[in-house]
């Protein structure tokens, strides 16, 4: 399939596909059409790879990190390094989740304080022992 159909089936813009091509994340084979500048021919395998790229981005991985993981997946000894990278990312996300939970708790307390007429001292900021006004 050519880039327009590939982008449509993947649910992304052609500019996104071209960006991934420039970054070396996708490497479709050159098609037979196009003469001196052949069209790129994408396959179902490329669709699965694009889905993995999008999943990596959703997990907070950068494109260079995703590219590295793609390379690791293909290497015979890459499984251990891939596991290490994914474990580190999971730990970062867990830490961030704790930070976000603390912020949500503070916001809930601040909203409740304001809804009750802001009586008494305001709640302290998440992780902060002092009160703010």
pLDDT in tens, 22-45: 999 998 988 776 556 668 899 999
- The predicted model gives 40-64 an average pLDDT of 92
Distances, alpha carbon 59 to alpha carbons 15, 54, 106, in Å: 22, 9, 25
Tokens encoding 33: 């059409």
pLDDT at 132 over 50: no
| Average pLDDT value for residue range 83-111 | 93
Least confident of 68-72, 87-91, 108-112, 115-119: 68-72
Q: Which tokens sit at 77?
A: 């000894």
φ, ψ of residue 64 in degrees (nearest 5): -60, -35
What are the b/e assignments for 75-91, b being 16+ CB within 10 Å? eeebeeebeebeeebee
The arithmetic mean of pLDDT across residues 76-102, rounded, is: 88
What's the confidence (pLDDT) of residue 33?
65
């Amino acid at each position: 399939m050519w880039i327009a159909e590939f982008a449509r089936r993947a649910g992304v813009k052609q500019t996104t596909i071209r960006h991934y091509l420039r970054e070396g994340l996708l490497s479709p084979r050159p098609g037979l059409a196009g003469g001196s500048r052949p069209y790129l021919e994408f396959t179902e395998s490329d669709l699965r790879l694009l889905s993995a790229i999008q999943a990596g981005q959703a997990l907070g991985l950068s494109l260079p990190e995703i590219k590295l993981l793609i390379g690791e997946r293909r290497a015979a000894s890459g499984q251990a390094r891939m596991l290490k990278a994914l474990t580190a990312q999971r730990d970062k996300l867990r830490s961030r989740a704790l930070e976000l939970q603390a912020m949500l708790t503070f916001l809930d307390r601040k909203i409740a304080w304001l809804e009750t007429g802001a009586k008494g001292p305001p709640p302290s900021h998440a992780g902060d022992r002092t009160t703010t006004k």
